[in-house]
Amino acid sequence: MSLECESKHKSDDFIAPPCREDIEIIYRDESLLLINKPSGLLSLSGKNPLNKDSVHYRLVQNYPTATLLHRLDFGTSGIMLVALNKWVNGLLTKQFQERTIYKTYTAVLQGLIERGEGTIDFPIGRGEFPLQKICLSSGKAAHSEYRVLKRLQKPARTRVIFTPHSGRTHQLRIHSQEIGHPILGCDLYYGKGLDKYDTHSAYLLSPRLMLHATTLDFDHPVSGERINSVSVCPF
């Protein structure tokens, strides 16, 4: 599975607001960390010196050899896997590449999805910075599965579990928008033909991006044990 890139913003002048929440250590041993990232925290420090605060910046204060194996978007919360040495980093990176690491995400989407489960297969390519787009001619294959957990009213919305089988940039955001049910609070893909501040925009329906990395399953690089890690969804 390719690394999942964190969201880029429309201007290099973007200054991330302060994140007051702490990073929770879910699991720790000599080889790796499993952490719970809060929403509103960069995975890596930005080019702008005012965007120094990040998951990586915080972790290396106590774990100087920590390296991120994947990233989550600025607004996405949830579970992340971190290597504590180069050897472990290499072994876990291979698992990502061989797609033996499985992840699920909890999301709340705009509107009511009729089918209880389904698959979304739309290739994704580069759009106008910072966006990606559906591109049937030259996009890279992207496959997502979803399962409805609950349908809610006033306003109409649907809580789902996503299982991505590829790791394209913004994959779940784009796929959600493409099926007509964008993720609530999404500042980049909030509904086709809508302005971000349109009264029907999914962006206005939540103060944060309603996307949470809920589970991550992998083989421990030392013991070989299959680890099934969970981060409880905060919404």
CATH number at residue 158: 3.30.2350.10
Pick from 64, 65, 101: which is nearest to 81 by CA?
101
- Print burial letters for 56-67: b (CB count within 10 Å at least 16), e (below 16): bebbeeeeeebb
Q: Is 235 a member of any domain? A: no
In a domain, 16, yes or no: no
Stated pTM of the model:
0.92
Q: Is 215 helix (H, G, I), strand (E, B) or coil?
A: strand
Does residue 142 fall inside a structural domain?
A: yes
Residues catalogued as catalytic: 73
Number of domains in the chain: 1
Task: Fill in the DSSP letter of residue 95.
Answer: H
Residue 139 lies in a domain: yes
Closest CA to 27 of 79, 64, 72: 79
Q: How much of the chain, in percent, has pLDDT values that exceed 90?
A: 90
In a domain, residue 134? The reply is yes
Residue 191 inside a domain? The answer is yes
Please indicate, yes or no, if residue 187 is contained in any of the structural domains. yes
- Is the distance from CB of 109 to CB of 182 less than 8 angstroms? yes
The encoded tokens of residue 145 equal 């599965």
pLDDT tens digits for range 47-104: 888 999 999 999 999 999 999 999 999 999 999 999 999 999 999 999 999 999 999 9
Range of the domain at 173: 105-211
Residue 90 lies in a domain: no
